[in-house]
Homo-oligomer: A and B are copies of this chain.
């Protein structure tokens, strides 16, 4: 049922975490057992271990498991240390002040788009509610902007991981159709999402590239067909591209900075 490699006990433990995460709510032991191919006793001990490690919580009253708080600590550290988030933050703030539009920052993970930060037109705060969310790569602006700058082998691997679901009538549902679009994106330096993911939602996105041309992430301005045309969105391109370059430049120096002493 699962094509992923297992990597022994650790892999199994993580797949259990995945199973709990996918449930979208508190889960009973029997439910997990039914979904999993692990034997009863094995799953049971794995759950015990994960609870003891605070990766899961067990509600004693209802006998249900949920994801644990320790994951949020890890994620905070991951965002702060290992993502574009902190570097991009001031740039997003500046861009947000300039263009009063919805802005997304994302990176590529496992062939999918992982959102790192967000600015809303009205509300100015970003939290886990936005960061950590995942979305498809083949039909979003940020996704396509990054795919367009992947090497041949990495691209094929990523394309193999797409679901190719036709979210709208405009969604590109084959690798060939997408590759043609990616070629255009590479030439233009920016990507459009022309209602490919949600009807009425359009966006323009730019990649954030290393000096070697590898995509570190991407950034987008989102709007609706009621408020903008693609032509109008294209007006943001120079600003977006400049911001993307600025973030990339900082990221290049960041990669070699001295690690902080803890405490």
Cross-interface CB contact of A24 among B119, B130, B132, B259, cutoff 8 Å: B259
Give chain B residues whose Cβ lies under 8 Å from the Cβ of A125: 118-120
Give chain B residues whose Cβ lies under 8 Å from the Cβ of A23: 81, 259-260, 262
**Interface of chain A residues 80 through 107 with chain B (CB within 8 A):** 80-83, 85-86, 89, 93, 107
Q: In the bound complex, how far is the Cα of B76 from the Cα of A131, in angstroms? A: 7
Shortest Cβ gap from A51 to chain B (Å)? 10
Q: Is the CB of A76 within 8 A of B133?
A: yes
Q: Is the CB of A261 within 8 A of B132?
A: no
**Residue A129 CB within 8 A of the other chain:** yes
Q: Is the CB of A75 within 8 A of B132?
A: yes
Q: Is the CB of A77 within 8 A of B14?
A: no
Q: Mark A58-79, 1 if CB is under 8 A from B, else 0.
A: 0100100011111111111111
**Residue A52 CB within 8 A of the other chain:** yes
**Residue A128 CB within 8 A of the other chain:** yes
Q: Is the CB of A66 within 8 A of B53?
A: no
Contact residues of A with B, CB < 8 Å? Answer: 5, 7-11, 13-14, 17, 21-27, 46, 49-50, 52-55, 57, 59, 62, 66-83, 85-86, 89, 93, 107, 109-110, 114, 116-120, 123-125, 127-134, 255-262
Q: Across the A-B interface, give the 9 residue pairs with the lowest CB-CB distance, nearest first.
A: A76-B132, A75-B75, A25-B259, A24-B260, A67-B78, A79-B128, A66-B82, A21-B77, A69-B109
